[in-house]
Chain A
Amino acid sequence: MARTPTIEILVGAFVAAGLVALLFLAVRVSNLGAAGGGEGYRVTALFDNVGSLKVRAPVSMAGVRIGRVENIRFDPEALQALVTMQIDGEIDRIPDDTLASIFTAGLLGEQYVGLDPGGSESYLREGDRIGLTQSALVLEQMIGQLLFSNQEETSE
Chain B
Amino acid sequence: MLASLARLGGGCLQGLERLGRGQALLARMIGGMPSLALRPRLLVRQIYNVGVLSMAVVIVSGLFVGMVLGLQGHSVLSRFGAEESLGVLVAAALVRELGPVLAALLVAGRAGSALTAEIGLMKATEQLSGLEMMAVDPVERILAPRLLGGLVAMPLLAALFSSLGVLGGWFVGVGLLGVDDGAFWGQMSSRIDLDEDVLNGVVKSLVFGLVVTWIALFQGYHAVPTSEGVSRATTRSVVHAALAVLGLDFVLTAIMLGD
Contacts and interface: CB of A to CB of B under 8 A. Distances in A.
Given A14-B51, A17-B55, A26 B156 contact: no
A21 interface: yes
A15 B156 contact: yes
B45 interface: yes
Contact of A18 (B48, B155, B197): B155
B91 A29 contact: yes
B159 interface: yes
A71 B52 CA distance: 45
A28 B188 CA distance: 8
A17 B190 CA distance: 25
Chain A at the B interface: mostly helix, strand, loop or mixed? helix
B160 interface: yes
Contact of A25 (B47, B48, B95): B95
Given A18-B159, A19-B156, A25-B159, A7 B44 contact: yes
Interface residues of A, number: 26
B198 interface: yes
Interface in A100-120: none
A53 B235 CA distance: 51
Interface residues of B, number: 33
Contacts of B95: 25, 29-30
Contact of B190 (A22, A24, A34): A34
Contact of A30 (B47, B48, B160, B192): B192
A21 B156 contact: yes
B91 to A, nearest CB: 5
Chain B at the A interface: mostly helix, strand, loop or mixed? helix
Nearest to B82: A106
A8 B58 CA distance: 20
A47 B77 CA distance: 34
B39 interface: no
A25 B189 contact: no
22 contacts: A7-B52, A10-B48, A11-B44, A11-B51, A13-B52, A14-B55, A14-B156, A15-B156, A18-B155, A18-B157, A18-B159, A21-B160, A21-B162, A24-B163, A26-B198, A28-B189, A29-B192, A30-B95, A30-B197, A31-B190, A31-B193, A34-B190
Interface of B: 41, 44-45, 47-48, 51-52, 55, 91, 95, 152-153, 155-157, 159-160, 162-164, 166, 185, 188-194, 197-198, 201-202
**CB-based closest 6 A-B pairs:** A18-B156, A21-B159, A21-B163, A30-B194, A22-B159, A30-B192
